Amino acid sequence: MGRAGNPEGISQLKSHAKIMRRLLPGVVALAFGSTIMNAQQTQPVPAAQPHALIPIDTSAPSEPYSPMIFGGFIEHFHRQIYGGLFEPGSALSDKQGFRKDVIAAMKELKLSVVRWPGGCFASGYHWKDGVGKTRKPVADPVWGVTDKNTFGTDEFVRWCRLVGCQPYICTNAGNGTPEEMGQWVEYCNATQGACAAMRKAGGHDNPLNVRYWSIGNENWGAHEIGASTPEKWGPLVRRSAELMRAVDLRIKLAAAGTRNRNWTLPLLAAAGQCLDYVAVHSYWLGYWERNDMPEYLSCIMQSEGPERTIAAVIALLAESGYRGRIKIAFDEWNLRGWHHPGFPRKQAVGPTDEAAAELIAKRDVNAIAKQYTMADALFSASFLNACLRHCDDVGMANIAPIVNTRGPLYVYPKGIVKRTTFHTLAMYAGLLESRVGKLHVQASPLVCGEKSIPVVDAIATVDESGKNWSIALINRHPGQAAACTVKMGDLLLDGQFDATILAGDSPEACNDVEHPVRVVPERKKVAFTQGVVNLPPHSLTVVRISRQ
């Protein structure tokens, strides 16, 4: 927001006023006039109401987006799987051990695809340990615990079928081999061969038909088992892809990339012809070692980060000549990085290592509910907006994780809590139309220290008929309503429309076991007057509009 003592803010407000004079001459004085007049005075004056102008070009062609952007990720870490989605013996689980309340919640999210078994865990995981009727626990070299192996490939695929999502398997490019990757595809998808026979012996006659696969996790990083170099990574991906596709030509393949051209361009040069996706990961507040809990504004200022990352990867795809052929799979994303001090590692921890056990126990701080505020909800909306704006290039996105740790769903022995982020994801998956329309957002700035982002972000979606629209409007301001002017084609919106609003009673509001519904979406009518709607502070509003 612009302030009287802030020349940059005054300049931006004047710029907004000029734009509005061209498009909306009757609204300018109300929205900006008094602030610009007072800005010439020497005494400080209160900040102007945050404002945004959003013209929607209803005559421009709309673009379909992939529902795979409403995907998730699950790893053998802490209580994501064991004690999360899988808890045999619980009164809340089915006969197979799957938590029924978790499955119902995932269906509410309309979860489209889930990536498994990691993550860093994948780079030390050998899939044969987790299949068959006789399995043994194995010490996990990455996270310092012993994996029971009672949840393996068959259980993962079965869970995905119950949820109604596609399974997406991340292979071991750490201490695994390309041959092991090819055998895993055979186990899942083939009707003949030694690994297909292994599946049948375990009680699964029919192929599992896993379509989506990733070669490696974060092999660009020194933290990863099997950390690679740009010169070695591309040839390894190409060899792995050849062996995997020799089993099943129908599979879709991703490989670990980054926004770093020195890594991704060599990967694409060596193996681009084998890939359908380049996989990218980002956590904008990395709390691996120290679990800070910054206030709302410090968190929300990260909201433009996803747009920059996506744009950087698109530029690399264009430079390589693969744009349009290879999509982006943002298959790990979240505002907050997981807290796991002292890990990941590359060797198993001994059973008497008390220091390691103390570090492992510190992962419990990921469950502190007050961390997950309206900032997480609105950041997630901004992330999805960025994916939708670039729907031609972004083919998949997987929030990391979906259950426990930093995930949208907190699971404990007696039930579940839907964190603020859960409601954002459910609103986007359930309320948006299937195509992205063309709009432009011109908004006053939200300033925190030396950082500034637009106070309002928006996306417009429309169905194939062009008549039914869903517009998602984000007011990032922690304490002020934003006057948002929406113009559809030549017409200013006017009247009352159905809407769903997620806000909460405070920017720091969260849901926890004691207060599970402090932040929930509310359905109500919202009024537009000559195009202007007042968006509540720290809110996400999805408006439904029918144009006959």
Verify that 420 and 502 share a domain, yes or no.
no
pLDDT at 209 over 50: yes
Verify that 393 and 475 share a domain, yes or no.
no
pLDDT at 329 over 80: yes
At 484, which helix (H) or strand (E)? strand 482-488
CB-based contact 232:216 (threshold 8 Å): no
Domain that holds residue 248: 66-431
Structure letter (DSSP) for residue 30? I
- Does this model's pTM top 0.85? My answer is yes
**Of the candidate ranges 24-33, 350-359, 414-423, the one whose mean pLDDT is the lowest:** 24-33
pLDDT at 90 over 80: yes
Q: Please name every residue paired with 458 in a beta bridge, in sequence order, or none if there are none.
A: 473
Helix (H, G, I), strand (E, B) or coil at 343: coil
The more confidently predicted of residues 20 and 108 is 108
The more confidently predicted of residues 547 and 396 is 396
Verify that 384 and 364 share a domain, yes or no.
yes
Q: How many residues does the chain have?
A: 548
pLDDT at 26 over 90: no
Report which listed range, 2-6, 27-31, 299-303, is most confident: 299-303
Q: How far separated are the first and last CA of the chain, in Å rounded?
A: 37
Distance CA 6, CA 427 (A): 37
- Residue 2 within a domain: no
- Residue 1 within a domain: no
Verify that 478 and 339 share a domain, yes or no.
no
CB-based contact 528:432 (threshold 8 Å): no
Distance CA 487, CA 345 (A): 54
Verify that 445 and 374 share a domain, yes or no.
no
From its phi and psi, is residue 222 left (phi > 0), alpha (psi between -120 and 50) or beta? alpha
Q: Please report, as a single letter, which amino acid is at residue 471.
A: I
- Strand 435-436: give its sheet, edge to edge: 63-64, 435-436, 456-462, 468-475, 539-546, 495-502, 522-528
- Residue 475 within a domain: yes
Q: Which of 431, 457, 472 is the last residue of a domain?
A: 431
Report the sign of the C-alpha dihedral through residues 519, 306, 14, 472, in that order.
Answer: negative
pLDDT at 1 over 80: no
How far is Cα of residue 95 from the mean position of the Cα atoms in its chain?
A: 31
Verify that 459 and 408 share a domain, yes or no.
no
- CB within 8 A of 536, min separation 6: which ones? 475, 481, 501, 503
The tokens describing 6, both together, are 């802030």
- Residue 487 within a domain: yes
Q: Please report, as a single letter, which amino acid is at residue 135.
A: R
The tokens describing 204, both together, are 């699964």
* Residue 47: pLDDT band with limits 50, 70, 90: low
Q: Which of 431, 453, 479 is the last residue of a domain?
A: 431
HSE-CB at 21 with a 13 A cutoff on CA atoms is 9
DSSP β-ladder status, 252-256 and 212-215:
parallel
- Residue 225 within a domain: yes
Verify that 174 and 268 share a domain, yes or no.
yes
Verify that 45 and 164 share a domain, yes or no.
no
Verify that 412 and 453 share a domain, yes or no.
no
How is 418-476 classified by DSSP, letter by letter?
E-HHHHHHHHHHHHS-SEE-EE--EE-EEEETTEEEESEEEEEEE-TTS-EEEEEEEE-
Phi, psi (rounded to 5 degrees) for 211: -90, -35
Q: What percent of the chain has pLDDT over 90?
A: 91
- CB within 8 A of 305, min separation 6: which ones? 282, 284
Q: Which one, of 165, 166, 167, 132, lies nearest residue 150 by Cα?
A: 132
CATH number at residue 71: 3.20.20.80
* Residue 504: pLDDT band with limits 50, 70, 90: very high
Distance CA 25, CA 6 (A): 25
**pLDDT averaged over the chain?**
92
Verify that 31 and 151 share a domain, yes or no.
no
Verify that 202 and 324 share a domain, yes or no.
yes
pLDDT at 43: 29
Across 26-98, where does the E strand assignment appear?
51-57, 63-64, 71-73
pLDDT at 48: 82
At 501, which helix (H) or strand (E)? strand 495-502
pLDDT at 7 over 90: no
CATH number at residue 16: 2.60.40.1180
- Residue 489 within a domain: yes
pLDDT at 346 over 60: yes
- CB within 8 A of 533, min separation 6: which ones? 473, 483, 484, 486, 493, 526, 527, 541, 543
Domain count, the chain: 2
Structure letter (DSSP) for residue 412? E
- Residue 239 within a domain: yes
Verify that 414 and 477 share a domain, yes or no.
no
Cis peptide before 344 (omega within 30 of 0): yes
* Residue 8: pLDDT band with limits 50, 70, 90: very low
CB-based contact 74:402 (threshold 8 Å): yes
pLDDT at 128: 98
Alpha helices in 202-282 (DSSP H): 230-247, 261-271
pLDDT at 28 over 90: no
- Residue 133 within a domain: yes
Could you report the per-residue pLDDT of 367-382, keeping only the tens digit for each?
999 999 999 999 999 9
At 336, which helix (H) or strand (E)? strand 327-336
**Of the candidate ranges 32-41, 200-209, 425-434, 485-494, the one whose mean pLDDT is the lowest:** 32-41
Q: Which of 431, 460, 488 is the last residue of a domain?
A: 431
